[in-house]
Structure 1
Amino acid sequence: MDFLNSLLVQPFADMFAAPDFLMQVLWEGLVSGILYALIALGFVLIFRSSRIFNFAQGIMVVFAALTLVGFHEMGVPAWISVILSLGVMFVLAVSIERVVLRPLVGQPDIILFMATIGITLFLIGFGELIFGGENKIMITEELGIPTGEFIFEPFGGFLLLEQKDVTAVVVAAVLVIALLAFLNKTRMGRAIRALGDDHQAALSVGISLQTIWVLVWFIAGIIALVTGIAWGARAGVSFALEVIAYKALPVLMLGGLESITGAIIGGLMIGLFEKLFEIYWGQPLLGGNTETWFAFVLALFVLLFRPQGLFGERIIERV
């Protein structure tokens, strides 16, 4: 009975006994969830356009952030470093399409998936060769990202916000809105959607597979750079950041591999639930450190009842 009380009753009593602390926990979860969703968007875009599960998206976040810091360490001004880093991500997108993807057109999906694992290993080795393996400090102040704190009092409550987290949330929201506008309002965006909806039909009307692949990998690179800046501002920049980036995998399991809406909502769910579980169940009952595995357990639980994810399309095969 005492165990059931500590598992089912006490955590909820603790939540509502300290509403200010609960709001703080929810805010921290919201920030993490938004960044998880951004990484997941890179996976979704590439999968929708090419049916390739891009295992390299996580290391692209690290590589983009390290490239930015590396340029600045060479004496390049911060915003010029951002532009040069975007240039590097574009060159990377073109190189991946020309060297890796184009020769593998028509190969089974598992071959393309293994190719993205090869890209991951290459970027790890190449990144360590150029940038080294030590942790680096993100150039937040040089980019004009505020680093102070301020107090927000919603509904008479008390919430301590870090300005860099607020900036990350605003930039992420703008990026998502811009991405949705691009996909729905522009010719190239509609071509990406058409390729995802019906691969053969899109090719038959003249949509260039090579151009779309370069474009979506470059967009994924832009998302990786923005995410790398935001995570780097919170935890520094190193190859350990790749582990955080793989939190996008349970986000995809929840939201579905083809749904942009699912990636956003799945990311928010993972961020909020893992933070709530860590504070109110993980630390009191399990000694903490549940954030490393909770998201994967939650996603597996959802997949037991809905294998395509919450927003994925149900696949029906007729024989």
Structure 2
Amino acid sequence: MELIFFFEVLVGGLLAGIMYSLVALGFVLIYKASGVFNFAQGAMVFFAALAFVSFQSWGWPFPLALLAALATMIVVALATERVVLRKLVNQPPITLFMATIGLTFVLEGLAQLIFGTDVHRLELGIPDDPLEIQGMLISTFDLIAAGVAALLVVALGVFFQYTRVGRALRAVADDHQAALSIGIPLQHIWAIVWAVAGFVALVAGLLWGARLGVQFALTLVALKALPVLILGGFTSVPGAIVGGLIIGASEKLAEVYVGPFVGGGIENWFAYVLALGFLLVRPEGLFGERHIDRV
């Protein structure tokens, strides 16, 4: 029974980790293409979920509300790229980072101005009954949500690895000037990446909104993606997956097996302690590129 309980906790953590990977993927896509750490990704998740649930509350059917929310997020992402990123090309990274912090507050305020500030319940029609597998009780919602997140992560990984746009993205990520010199339209690639990040934010917003409710706290989900990025590397899609699995599993196991000895709530901060320790050993992450500065 003890072994079954261990695997039950482990599987639950792995499923939550895939959800973390989905949020982290939005950061990776933008950082890989433009070198911008988009601190506003959490606000985009909140904006997407609030837009969808608001469209539903206006009486729109599920498919129409989903398409409208997707169109809204693509417009928001493209507007962000054109108004913020494009105007700050060749600026220091700290300038771009501060711009995305400002964008976070703009999106949060804009979402609540347009759609209101009430907390909403989001229903996706996914049951949340416990499912027994080999003696383990696993949440049906967590299993389906993790499956959706995993499919999206794999699909995006294949898209950026094997398609023409994906090859152009990798070229842009390696060297902006070299990519321009061989005719790759830099601004078009950035627009595509931001649009995809908007789509990822919508999927993450729907899944996390169904689990936590559509509320301001959704913006804080992005903070849990930071340890994932530190472990996996800021430029690696596989790193986002592996980092998410490690964070999800370790925090659940720590909560169950270490929490009773140090007090409750360890799940809220253990991931950051793990990431801090990892920074001391491998700052670039498991799949990140080593940077060697020659002087």
1:279 aligns with 2:256: yes
Look up the match of 2:242: 265
Identify the range of structure 1 (195-204 vs 297-306) with the bigger mean alpha-carbon deviation: 195-204
Contact 1:259 1:312 in 2 (8 A): yes
**Letter paired with 2:167:** R
Contact 1:164 1:233 in 2 (8 A): no
Separation in 1 of the partners of 2:10 and 2:281? 27
Question: What are the within-5 Å matches in structure 2 for residues 1-319 of structure 1?
Answer: 18-141=2-125, 145-153=126-134, 158-282=135-259, 284-319=260-295
Deviation (angstroms), 1:185: 2.1
**Letter paired with 1:135:** V
Look up the match of 1:9: none
SS at match of 2:216: coil
Deviation (angstroms), 1:244: 2.3
Deviation (angstroms), 1:67: 0.8
Separation in 1 of the partners of 2:114 and 2:138? 36
Question: Which contiguous aligned blocks of 4+ residues in structure 1 show a shift greater than 6 angstroms?
Answer: none
Q: Percent identity?
A: 55
SS at match of 2:285: coil
* Number of equivalences: 295
SS at match of 1:20: helix
Runs of at least 5 residues in structure 2 that lack an aligned partner in the other structure:
none
Identify the range of structure 1 (204-213 vs 261-270) with the bigger mean alpha-carbon deviation: 204-213
SS at match of 2:138: strand
Runs of at least 5 residues in structure 1 that lack an aligned partner in the other structure:
1-16
Separation in 1 of the partners of 2:239 and 2:131? 32
SS at match of 2:173: helix
Kindly provide the CA deviation profile for residues 77-128 of structure 1, in whole angstroms up to 9, marking residues without a partner as x.
1111111111011101221122111111111111111111111010111112
Separation in 2 of the partners of 1:308 and 1:300? 12
Separation in 2 of the partners of 1:108 and 1:149? 50
SS at match of 1:161: strand
**Letter paired with 2:166:** G
Contact 2:230 2:279 in 1 (8 A): yes
Contact 2:231 2:285 in 1 (8 A): yes
**Letter paired with 1:313:** E
Kindly provide the CA deviation profile for residues 137-167 of structure 1, in whole angstroms up to 9, marking residues without a partner as x.
11212xxx333332212xxxx1122222121
**Letter paired with 2:30:** I
Deviation (angstroms), 1:253: 0.9
Using the size of structure 1 for normalisation, the TM-score is: 0.89
Identify the range of structure 1 (199-208 vs 32-41) with the bigger mean alpha-carbon deviation: 199-208
**Based on CA coordinates, which of the two structures has the bigger radius of gyration?**
1
Using the size of structure 2 for normalisation, the TM-score is: 0.96
Contact 1:168 1:230 in 2 (8 A): yes
Separation in 2 of the partners of 1:221 and 1:187? 21
Contact 2:130 2:138 in 1 (8 A): yes
Contact 1:49 1:213 in 2 (8 A): yes
SS at match of 1:151: strand
Contact 1:78 1:139 in 2 (8 A): no
**Letter paired with 1:129:** L
Separation in 2 of the partners of 1:280 and 1:28? 14
Deviation (angstroms), 1:295: 0.7
Contact 1:151 1:160 in 2 (8 A): yes
